[in-house]
Structure 1
Amino acid sequence: MAKKRQKKQQQNFFPFIKWFWILFGTGVLSVVLIFLLASWGVFGEMPTFERLENPETNLATEFISSDGETLGKLYLDDNRTWVDYETLPQNIVDALVATEDARYYEHSGIDARGFARALAYLGTKGGASTISQQLARQLFVGVRSRNLFEAVTQKIKEWVIATRLERNYTKEEIIAMYLNIYDFGYAADGIRSASRIYFGKEPNELRTEESAVLIGMLKNSSLYNPIRREELVFNRRNTVLGQMAKYGYISEKEKDSLQTLEMKINFNPESHREGLATYFRMYLQRWLNNWVKDNPKPNGEKWNIYLDGLKVYTTVDSRMQRNAEEAVQEHMSNLQAKFFHQNTPQRNPTAPFLDISRGAIDTIMERAMKASPRWRVLKREGLSEKEIEATFHEKTEMTVFDWNSDSYEKDTIMTPMDSIRYYKTFLRTSMMSMEPQTGHVKAWVGGVDYKHFQYDNVYQGARQAGSLFKPFVYAAAIDQLRYSPCFTLPDNQYSIEPGKHGNMEAWQPKNSDGEYSGEDMTLKNALANSVNTITAQLIDRVGPGAVVSLAKNMGITKDVPAVPSIALGVADVSVYDMVGAFGTYANQGVYVKPVMVTRIEDKNGSVLYEYTPETKDVLSKEVAYAMVNLLEGVTQSGSGARLRHSGAKETTVYKEIITGYPYELTNPIAGKTGTTQNQSDGWFMGMVPNLVTGVWVGGENRSIHFSSITYGQGAAMALPIWALYMKKNYADEEIGVSKDEFEAPEEMSINIDCSKVKEEVKVDTEDDLDDLDF
């Protein structure tokens, strides 16, 4: 009876057991089917094996300095530079695993325990997404949909892709991919950009508490952003540190200590208009655009300079570049204050313009208006010129440049036309520094602030050189007529008659002070004091054609007319060309074309480009050294002598009172100042044996200038930037800027010792040249 009852009970339970296994099996088969359907792409496109092997990530082009620092990057949307797992600090890996996926090393892409917990507590005690799933979402799935069905299918796709990622990559590679992919905000794409932007350092330099900040941002980089929500991020950082202690990556004592530390953010935004060497980077962008036209990929496609992760190795030294930018800011802010003082409405009703009519000013302003980006945009939108011009007289909110602000910006309200005039009140500058033996450009500053003044005065700009052009005349005379620095000529009024050398009218230049000593002067003394009459005699004797030919061989690319007046610098030249040209003197007569890029690599390290030096023998070693000797005279007793001054007292040098220039440079320096008519342009070129640097300062228009020579000469406008820059370089001995003597040739037939002036031959007339055997 008992057996019958037991058998009957078993028969009663059998349907339940049967249905349990049917439902269980159906569930398992359903899950398998869902996963299969997802992998077949029924719920949307799935990544192919090839895409899993090579996930598409946009990589920024990186500009790397000669001392291994990142100068900046080129990117469209993604400012990302890849870093390998080996270069990540262990603290950031530990923080990631402890906070995002504690059982990361135990699962194969899906954390079953975490999933069960999330289901049981409906996500209130944490989610179930593993690091592999989060990477899958970042790479292939995208933003979570608010539609329930789509959200579920997205989750299924994440699971499938996560397991595939686990099969294709190691755990370390997945961590590296995830940290490289994540967008940390403020153009910080990937861990390297985030580390540099939020802390100003490379990832391997991050301290534990700094890594905790970045890992805390993974939850929501927009919400937990240290720039916008400091207190919230501070608390989130401490939560991460708590997780690290919970799972044994740091001790409780370390956790307590780190959680009390202040959160020190060192914000360094990386944008095309900010950061180090902005003008240089924009030059490189144009250079790269030209390079990719002639250098396609092996498959024939064109390189994308914004997405393909090129590494461009440059010649610029980040330390010297920083010194150059600081020197420019330091001097130009002071010089601008003096310029503003001279151009108040009371002192100059047409400020900032001088010596031109109201009509000419109106023409300049109208031309600037029609050349502005605002005009071009409105023109493309179809507005008439009358309608466009009307908008230039409507007040609007804007942010403008301001030397007196910590950020060099201020918010204001003015009309666009007033803003054009406002920006014309600012003096512009440019500076380039080059190693003459290699042509390697070490520093490049194209203006005072790229964000507001985007015209690059190093390469794009060309202005009259003034007396800076005179060394070409002297070099031609020494090279072709065998004159020496001790050769003498009289300082008398001098005239070149009409028709000679192609000039249409008589040319009779005056000295800058309008006076003539009537005394014989050595070429060294004449160049040091920039005596125009001596230069006029030299170009008359050697001929303008010879001077132009020499200037071209020394790298001057701008048009230089073969007329006598070029002796005083009427031709326009660029800082880029002049630095290359003066490098010929320091490099014993060999011209080396300036070099900015030494090598380009693709993202895998394959070399795509290596530069080949371009050189030309222009002058003999003797002539080059004689020119160096001449130019040294400028800084010993001429217009560059203020480089030697202590600034402690007034000293009369070069017919002027010098005060307030405490540079006290004692090492050998060859240099030349340049000042154009009406003080429109101020130049200084300075050389030591292994560094040639050129500086230009002036207004945007030639009618924008100082009213007097006191501040308007090259020795006051440009020379201080060179001096400040060199003092900063010398303060860092690791940079290695020379303080030595210039190297003299083993044999020197040209006399540079003017104590032996009796050995020199004085030529009073051109006819006497025929009687001399050079």
Structure 2
Amino acid sequence: MSTYISSVKKVFRNKWIKWIVIVSSLILLFLIGLYVSIYLGLFGKVPTVDDISSIKQEQATQLLDKDQTLIGKYYIYDRQPIAYTDLPKHLIDALVATEDSRFYEHDGIDNISLMRVFVKSLILRDKTAGGGSTITLQLAKNLYGRKHYAIFSMLINKFKESIVAKRIESVYSKEEIITLYLNTVPFSDNTYGIESASLKFFNKSVNDISINEAATLVGTLKANTYYNPRVYTERSRNRRNVVLKQMVNYGYLSKDSLDYYSKQEQRLDYRSFNHDLGIAPYFRAEVKKQLESILDTLKTPDGEKYDLYKDGLIVHTTLDFKMQQLAEMAMKEHMSKLQTDFEKSYGNDSPWNKNSKLLESAISKLAKVKYYKEKGWSQTQIKDSLQLKRPIDVFSWRGDTIKNLSTIDSLKHYLKFLNTGMLSIEPTTGAVRAYVGGIDYRYFKYDHISQSERQVGSTFKPFVYTAAIDNNLSPCTYFSLNKVTYTDYDNWTPTNSGSGEEDPYINYTLENALSNSVNTISVKVLEEIGIPKVLEQVKTLGISKTLPNEPSLALGVAEISLKDLTGAYASYLNKGKSVKPYYITKIEDKFGNVIATFEPEISKEEAYSAYTRQVLLEMMKSTVNKGTARRLRSTYGLENEIAGKTGTTQDNKDGWFVGLTPNLVTITWVGNDNHAIGFKSTSLGQGSNSALPIFAKFYQKLNKDTDFNSITKAQFEKPSEQVLSDLDCEPTKRDGFIKRLFKKKNKKKSFH
């Protein structure tokens, strides 16, 4: 024994050994002191067991379509929690094999690996020490984040996480820890949680992902930007194969399976839930506005306000995901071609390049110009700033690109684009099934359904005829085509579209006049029944805004929103009752409790008689079968039961089409956002050419999908014998010789 003691003393007489022991002891005391001080909260509060037991994570609000399909989310962090029972076994196996092979054996800390990190961080001062992280330690970091400290930052954070990890293990089972981890871990593209990642990269819920898809997502955890499967396909594939090898190493996958899976291509079905991208962005933006107002009126069980971006609400909407997809496809197919024709028609004489007054007016409305003026900049300084070129993202139907443009160049570029609005609703409820507010939400935020009001042109005429029929004007009443100059309205002379001189001695029935959109007769019908009755009729259809009290009302000079117009037209399919288009059916909290429900807003009274409704439907069927919308049959080959109305405004500024089928009302509008820019010619800008094709292409796609048979194969109700009898007359009648002898071709009179 004395020999052993003597040997020990001899060793410690060596100054190097002595210093190593002293330094090691000091380091150990430092580490113990640091750990205790962190434990006591000297470096900030460490979450307690109670805190950990009541973990509350921010969750994205989910937006669902009428069939529970996810169409979008509102979030700060894109997180969508899921239960352990929904996690496939191969996903859990891939995670454990790659991130923490001894997960089921330790109590949250892998002491050997952690000590290695401490030594590398403290002694070697290696900022990239890494390693040592168990799934539980990573969960602690995911839940509570890290803080920056002046010195020993990595060490302090690691100690904190080790304390939290121990407490997590004392509160939760291994299954619960796996679930919490996968619900909080960050994946590529700013996505939090496995369910959100699975939906984004593979367009499927996590319980449906394959082994390869699971390995791909787990592989991104090492570095979610570096291994982003959308951006770095090959890099992600190689990392996926590493995960598969780890699964083989730890017995979760056979070697034969490895060969099979590792040779498969990396296939994504990417769906972005970015607020500006994805399906129905205009719809999602409008719903968000409504939700913000609705949530202001609701309280949580704790008396707090709901947070749209953090509380994981579930919003059930009326939208039909598949129908929306078809609507957007139809819009893009037509608008891309129409834009080419539009630019070609102007050639080198386009108003966005040649009209200096138009350009100056557009420049003066720019927010940055107003800002510069407020700052006291001179006109020269402002002009110089607007001419400064810089690389910017530019929209094009041929594909987005980056161009070196000045503000003025950019303004000219965007001035030329035609825009659109399209709304489809269920006529009996107003439930919105498809909603296209513009051509591309990223570059054109203005919503042409809910925000825009444009002149509605000839789509207003059915309201005039409705008032006339409902006030006992016979459908077979004949009106002359001849022009009339109204002396009490600045000698205003309404004319009909098209070229050539019309025969003033020809008379049309109301059906023939409406189906061919005859302007001169529409004004005469308005005169016959009086403006007040038409204004009252329109008000009963849910259009409450003040409309022009003048004869041009018959030609659609009134500016009405597409949304209100659609709700009014629904009355022809809903027993004379207008509806208010609506978007949300109910809202649930994250636990599935219903916190708000919404019912359709339907007019309580019929705006006109059943007889009038049937007559107008027959007239609008004629518009499709032999009138201004006949190309639905001849060009697009649609055989559906359709009633409709085209519309074109003065100077070809706006093109409209109203399409009515028994179970769906669809209205499309096309025009330029700048009211000063119209189509070069009526042949290009008329509603039957600019707006109708979107409806036509939309229905062509609906017809190919049997899921929409209830819409595409629906039949209109059979009109009564009285209606058929009253419409049974010759569409035209020519004046007799005596009447022609005394009839003036261009009559002058006052409007009464």
* TM-score bracket relative to the smaller structure: 0.7 to 0.9
Shift of 1:528: 0.7
Q: For residues 239 and 147 of structure 2, what CA distance do their matches in structure 1 show?
A: 23
Q: 2 CA distance for matches of 1:470 and 1:402?
A: 36
C-alpha spacing 1:229/1:377, structure 2 compared with 1 (3 Å): farther
Change beyond 3 A, Cα 1:374–1:603: farther
- In 2, are the aligned partners of 1:84 and 1:176 still within 8 Å (CA)? yes
Aligned to 1:619: 608
Root mean square deviation, CA, Å: 3.3
- Flag the 1:373–1:316 CA change in 2: closer, same or farther, 3 A: farther
- In structure 1, the partner of 2:20 is none
Distance in 1 (CA, whole Å) between partners of 2:111 and 2:296 is: 53
Q: Secondary structure at the match of 2:78?
A: coil
Give the Å deviation of 1:28.
Answer: 11
Structure 1 residue 208, shift from structure 2 partner: 0.8
Separation (CA, whole Å) in 2 of partners of 1:146 and 1:575: 59
Matched, 1:587 2:574: yes
Contact 2:313–2:590, Cα closer than 8 Å, also in 1: yes
Stretch deviating more after TM superposition (101-110 or 276-285)? 101-110
Q: In the TM superposition, what is the alpha-carbon distance from 1:91 to its structure 2 partner?
A: 1.9
Q: Which of residues 402, 405, 410 is equivalent to 1:414?
A: 405
Change (3 A) 1:211 1:384: farther
Deviation at 1:194, TM superposition (A): 1.9
Which one-letter code corresponds to 1:294 in the other structure?
Answer: T
Q: What SS does the aligned partner of 1:423 have?
A: helix
1:272-283 superposed matches below 5 A: 272-283=275-286
Q: CA deviation at 1:691?
A: 0.4
> CA 1:425–1:125 in 2, change beyond 3 Å: closer, same or farther?
closer
Name the TM-score, length of structure 2 as normaliser: 0.87
Question: What per-residue deviation string (whole Å, max 9, x for no partner) do you get for residues 324-351 of structure 1?
Answer: 1111110011111111111221xx2x43
Cα distance in structure 2, aligned partners of 1:379 and 1:143:
44
Aligned-partner Cα distance in 1 for 2:211–2:373: 54
CA contact (8 A) 2:61 2:310 kept: yes
Task: Point out where structure 2 has 5 or more consecutive residues left out of the alignment.
Answer: 11-23, 740-752
Query: Which segment is superposed worse, 153-162 or 316-325?
Result: 153-162
TM-superposition CA deviations, 1:317-373 (whole Å, max 9, x none): 11111111111110011111111111221xx2x4348xxxx7xx4443334224334
Deviation at 1:223, TM superposition (A): 2.5
The residue type paired with residue 642 of structure 1 is R
Pairing 1:741–2:728 present: no
Structure-2 change in CA distance of 1:470 and 1:202 (3 Å): same
Cα deviation for residue 377 of structure 1 reads: 6.0
Q: Distance in 2 between matches of 1:381 and 1:170?
A: 62
Residue number in structure 1 paired with 2:366: 372
Matched, 1:67 2:67: yes
Counterpart of 2:13?
none
The verdict on how the C-alpha distance between 1:621 and 1:165 changes in structure 2, with shifts beyond 3 A counting, is farther
Code of the aligned partner of 1:691: L
- 1:404-435 C-alpha deviation (Å, 9 max, x unpaired): 2xxx3122122211211221111111111101
Counterpart in 1 of 2:218?
A: 215
Show the counterpart of 1:431.
422
Aligned with residue 185 of structure 1, among 185, 188, 209: 188
Equivalent position amino acid for 2:42 in 1:
V
Partner residue, 1:402: 396
2:67 alignment partner AA: D
For residue 701 of structure 1, what is the aligned residue in structure 2?
A: 674
Q: Aligned in 2, Cα 1:681/1:109: closer, same or farther, shift over 3 Å?
A: same
Q: How many angstroms does 1:292 deviate by?
A: 2.7
Q: Which residue of 2 aligns with 1:451?
A: 442
Letter in 1 for 2:334: H
Whole-Å separation in 2 of the counterparts to 1:372 and 1:28:
65
Structure 1 stretch 584-593 or stretch 119-128: which is displaced more?
A: 119-128
Please state how far the C-alpha of 1:540 moved relative to its aligned partner.
1.1
Q: Distance in 2 between matches of 1:440 and 1:610?
A: 14
Aligned to 2:510: 523
Please say if residues 147 and 157 of structure 2, whose CA atoms lie closer than 8 Å, have aligned partners that are also in contact: no
The residue number in structure 2 matching 1:648 is: none
**Matches of 2:660 and 2:287, distance apart in 1:** 25
In structure 2, the CA distance between the partners of 1:11 and 1:410, relative to structure 1 (3 Å rule), is closer
Report the residue type matching 1:79 in the other structure.
D
Distance in 2 between residues matched to 1:198 and 1:220, nearest whole Å: 16
- Note the residue ranges of structure 1 that are not aligned, 5 or more in a row: 1-5, 17-23, 499-503, 646-660, 765-774
The correspondence for 2:143, drawn from 139, 145, 150, is 139
Contact map agreement 1:430 1:446 (CA 8 A) in 2:
yes
Aligned residues: 712
**1:737 partner SS:** helix
In 2, Cα distance between equivalents of 1:50 and 1:559: 61
Q: Distance in 2 between matches of 1:584 and 1:395?
A: 52
**What residue in structure 2 maps to residue 651 of structure 1?**
none
The 5 A counterparts of 1:110-509 are 110-112=109-111, 115=114, 127-142=131-146, 147=151, 149-345=152-348, 348=349, 350-352=350-352, 361-375=355-369, 387-404=381-398, 408-481=399-472, 483-494=473-484, 498=488, 504-505=489-490, 507-509=492-494
Q: Which residue of 2 aligns with 1:510?
A: 495
Q: 1:152 to 1:718 in 2, by over 3 A?
A: same
Offset of residue 169 of structure 1: 2.3
Show CA shifts across 1:455-513 (max 9, x none).
Answer: 111111111111110000011111122x3544433333345563xxxxx4455422223
Task: Describe how 1:694-773 pairs up with structure 2 within 5 A.
Answer: 694-735=667-708, 736-744=710-718, 749-751=722-724, 754-755=727-728
Q: CA contact under 8 A between 1:484 and 1:750: conserved in structure 2?
A: no
The separation in 2 between residues aligned to 1:581 and 1:673, in whole angstroms, is 16
Q: Percentage identity across aligned positions? A: 38
Farther-moved stretch of structure 1 (120-129 vs 58-67)? 120-129
**Matching residue of 2:744:** none
* Match of residue 687 from structure 1: 660
Range with bigger deviation, 329-338 or 198-207:
198-207
C-alpha separation in 2, matches of 1:40 and 1:486: 93
In the other structure, the counterpart of 1:100 is 99
CA shift for structure 1 position 225: 2.2
**Alignment partners' CA distance in 2, 1:599 and 1:255:** 47
Range 291-300 or range 456-465, more displaced: 291-300
Task: Give the deviation of 1:168 after TM superposition.
Answer: 2.3
2: CA distance, partners of 1:177 / 1:384? 59
> Is the CA contact (8 Å cut-off) linking 1:462 and 1:575 kept in structure 2?
yes
* Cα distance, 1:96–1:375 mapped onto 2, change above 3 Å: farther
CA contact (8 A) 2:458 2:647 kept: yes
Sort the Cα spacing of 1:387 and 1:169 in 2 relative to 1 into closer, same or farther, 3 A.
Answer: farther
Task: State the distance in 1 between where 2:725 and 2:644 align.
Answer: 17
Does the Cα contact within 8 Å between 1:626 and 1:752 map onto a contact in 2?
no
Q: How does 1:663-678 map to 2 (within 5 A)?
A: 663-678=636-651
Indicate conservation of the 8 Å contact 2:189/2:225, yes or no: no
Separation (CA, whole Å) in 1 of partners of 2:149 and 2:96: 26
Distance in 2 of aligned mates of 1:376 and 1:194: 43
One-letter identity of the residue aligned with 2:624:
T
Residue matched to 2:78: 79
- 1:80–1:375 CA distance, 2 compared to 1 (3 A): farther
Q: Closer, same or farther in 2 for the Cα pair 1:142/1:382, shift >3 Å? A: farther
Residue 751 of structure 1, CA deviation:
4.3
SS at match of 2:62: strand
Summarize deviations over 1:70-111 as a string: whole Å, max 9, x none: 2222234x1222222222222211111111112222332223
Q: Is the CA contact (8 Å cut-off) linking 2:189 and 2:228 kept in structure 1? A: no
State how far apart, in whole Å, the 2-side matches of 1:13 and 1:311 are: 74
Offset of residue 172 of structure 1: 2.2
Alpha-carbon distance in 2 for matches of 1:203, 1:383: 56
Among candidates 597, 621, 624, match of residue 610 of structure 1 = 597
Q: CA 1:473–1:452 in 2, change beyond 3 Å: closer, same or farther? A: same
Kept after mapping to 1: 8 A contact 2:431/2:600: no
